[in-house]
RNA sequence: CCCCUUUCCC
């Protein structure tokens, strides 16, 4: 079983979703009982390709296996339905899951955020805080995605302040998400301000900021940053 | 083998 899981998760990581399906079917035909690891990988394969029908088939197998109560499996089901644009089904899984951990909340917040339901995402965020679930980096990134759009600059700033207030040092992915939020919310100046204040930058930081320059027609600034990036020793990708 | 996340592509 572990051998099957290694191959299946390997395919999913490599983006070979259909191959993962073939292997999954073969494993079943050989009488192998899938484990929660198998399901997590297979549900990810369905999310990646936006394959709700396959996802539902896997969901049926999950129920048959009796593993549907495991929080990891539930989280993967929520993610799969959210990525297949089926937020109602994701919500249904969420409500039936007795144990919600930080990943469960993050999956829901990210699901709402990516589909433009900023209010829902923020509501989830507030509810998890009320339940005293500690937000982590991924929570903050997900809520920033919710407010990455025209007209949400104010909310984005509020979240930014909140993050600064409760975190003494944000890690790079959060700051990268902040830059992206400001770019998409229409404030090039604030994005640049955050960028300039960073002590460390990775390739995503540079890409986000250079892409931001392009969106605001600041081509000379984009070129300048591009050169600066290479001076800092990073290769463009 | 082990669930959620940020740039770009789609």
**What does the pLDDT read at residue A48?**
92
pLDDT value at position A200? 96
CA separation for the pair A114, A111 (Å, rounded): 5
Query: What is the C-alpha separation between A125 and A115, in angstroms, rounded?
Result: 16
Residues of chain A with pLDDT under 50: none
Check residue A151 and report its DSSP letter.
Answer: T
Provide the pLDDT for residue A191: 98
Residue A49 CA distance to nucleotide B10 C1' (Å): 11
Of A183, A189, A135, A133, nearest to A156 (Cα)? A183
Residue A39: per-residue pLDDT = 98
Nucleotides in B strand less than 7 A from protein CB? 1-8
Q: Residue A79's pLDDT is what?
A: 98
pLDDT at A185: 98
pLDDT tens-place string over residues A168-199 = 889 999 999 999 999 999 999 999 999 999 99
Residues A202/A203/A206/A209 CA torsion (nearest 10 deg): -100
Q: Which protein residue has its CA closest to C1' of B10?
A: A49
A211 touches strand B (CB under 7 A): yes
Q: Which nucleotide's C1' sits nearest to the alpha carbon of A138?
A: B5
Q: Measure A71 CA to B3 C1' (Å).
A: 8
ipTM: 0.96
Nearest to residue A148, comparing CAs of A169, A117, A125?
A117
Q: Is the CB of A138 under 7 A from strand B?
A: yes
Q: Which nucleotide is nearest to A37 (CA to C1')?
A: B2
Q: What distance in Å separates the CA atoms of residue A100 and residue A133, rounded to the nearest whole number?
A: 9
């Amino acid at each position: 079983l572990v051998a099957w899981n290694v191959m299946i998760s390997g395919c999913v990581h490599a983006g070979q979703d259909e191959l993962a399906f073939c292997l999954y079917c073969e494993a079943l035909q050989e009488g192998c009982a899938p484990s929660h690891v198998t399901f997590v990988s297979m549900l990810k394969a369905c999310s990646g390709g936006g394959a709700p029908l396959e996802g539902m088939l896997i969901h049926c197998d999950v129920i048959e296996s009796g593993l549907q109560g495991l929080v990891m499996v539930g989280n993967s089901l929520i993610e799969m339905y959210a990525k297949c644009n089926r937020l109602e089904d994701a919500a249904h899984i969420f409500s039936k899951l007795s144990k919600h951990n930080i990943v469960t909340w993050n999956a829901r917040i990210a699901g709402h955020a990516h589909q433009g339901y900023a209010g829902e995402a923020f509501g989830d965020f507030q509810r998890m805080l009320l339940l005293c679930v500690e937000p982590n980096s991924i929570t903050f990134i997900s809520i920033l995605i919710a407010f990455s759009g025209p007209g949400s600059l104010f909310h984005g700033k509020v979240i930014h302040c909140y993050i600064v207030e409760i975190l003494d040092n944000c890690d790079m992915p959060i700051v990268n998400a902040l830059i992206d939020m400001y770019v998409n919310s229409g404030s090039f100046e604030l994005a640049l301000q955050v960028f300039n204040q960073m002590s460390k930058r990775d390739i995503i930081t540079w890409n986000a900021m250079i892409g931001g320059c392009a969106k605001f027609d600041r081509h000379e600034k984009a070129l300048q940053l591009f050169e600066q990036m290479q001076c800092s020793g990073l290769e463009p990708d």
